[in-house]
């Protein structure tokens, strides 16, 4: 099997019959690594070094014109036709549908799961990411702390929404799903790499803490967090 897509000129596939993952273990990247490990799908990982600007390489842009990881190429997409996909939320949903795992087949529960994934994509990711910028990266040098505080306050508010949701259930949807997978890497980065644990007063959110511990205890999550960590 030869994969007919420009991405493979720069990142050749050794196992062209497997789903091809282009990623890095960032909060958005780990979602797909975790999902692939949870579902047991055969895949081939390609590490895209965003610090070296590889996500803006023309070959990568041919797969994701938005120039960001993660992206996938499934040689066995719907109806047996190849499917290229970017946006981590869309990829989670696709892989859940492809495998029939980690999303409910009951329509009401399914839409509710999608709702929480959208909440992560539109709220948690962008807000926590800005906390990272203003607390850990270039924005740290800004004297005016109002932008940082704005994102810290909004992130703490989002954490309280999640905390309430988890008050009477182990997982966002009761059972483990793509909603949890979408969120775990972001919470991990916020209190870890972004060094914002105290800023957002994470210790206030007991249900989120317990959920986070449960999530990290899953072997597939542990493996997923390491996917594309090295070449």
Residues that bind ligand GSH (CB under 6 A): 26-29, 50, 55, 67-70, 87-89, 121
- Alpha-carbon span 95 to 102, nearest angstrom: 9
Distances, alpha carbon 61 to alpha carbons 37, 66, 68, 170, 188, in Å: 26, 7, 9, 39, 28
Task: State the minimum distance, in angstroms, from the CB of residue 144 to ligand GSH.
Answer: 24
Q: Which stretch of DSSP H or E encloses residue 215?
A: helix 206-216
Nearer to ligand GSH, 88 or 207 (CB): 88
CB-CB contact of 161 with 167 (8 Å): no
> Distance (Å, rounded) from C-alpha 32 to C-alpha 22?
10
Virtual torsion, Cα 30, 58, 91, 168, nearest 10 deg:
40
Give the nearest distance from C-beta 91 to ligand GSH in angstroms.
7
Minimum distance between the CB of residue 69 and ligand GSH, rounded to whole angstroms? 4
Q: Which is nearer to ligand GSH, 29 or 215 (CB)?
A: 29
Q: Which is nearer to ligand GSH, 68 or 188 (CB)?
A: 68
User: Which residue number, 41 or 61, has a Cβ lying nearer to ligand GSH?
Assistant: 61
In whole angstroms, the minimum distance from the beta carbon of 231 to ligand GSH comes to 17
Looking at the Cβ atoms of 28 and 207, the one nearer to ligand GSH is 28
Cα torsion 51, 57, 63, 65 to 10°: value is 90
Cβ 25 to ligand GSH, closest distance in Å? 9
Query: 47 near 32, Cβ under 8 Å?
Result: no
């Amino acid at each position: 099997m030869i994969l007919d897509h420009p991405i493979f000129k720069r990142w050749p596939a050794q196992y062209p019959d497997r789903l091809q993952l282009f990623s890095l273990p960032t909060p958005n990247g780990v979602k797909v690594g975790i999902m692939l490990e949870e579902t047991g799908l055969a895949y081939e990982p390609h590490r895209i070094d965003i610090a070296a600007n590889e996500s803006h390489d023309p070959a990568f842009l041919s797969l994701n014109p938005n120039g960001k990881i993660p992206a996938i190429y499934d040689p066995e997409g719907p109806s047996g036709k190849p499917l290229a996909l970017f946006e981590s939320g869309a990829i989670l949903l696709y892989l859940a549908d492809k495998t029939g795992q980690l999303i409910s087949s009951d329509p009401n529960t399914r839409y509710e799961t999608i709702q929480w994934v959208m909440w992560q994509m539109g709220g948690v990711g962008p807000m926590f990411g800005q906390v990272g910028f203003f607390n850990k990266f270039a924005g740290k040098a800004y004297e005016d702390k109002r932008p940082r505080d704005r994102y810290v306050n909004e992130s703490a508010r989002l954490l309280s929404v999640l905390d309430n949701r988890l008050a009477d259930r182990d997982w966002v949807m009761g059972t483990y799903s793509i909603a949890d997978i979408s969120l775990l890497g972001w919470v991990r980065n916020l209190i870890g790499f972004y060094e914002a644990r105290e800023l957002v007063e994470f210790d206030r959110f007991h249900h989120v803490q317990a959920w986070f511990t449960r999530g990290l205890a899953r072997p597939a999550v542990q493996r997923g967090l390491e996917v594309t960590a090295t070449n």
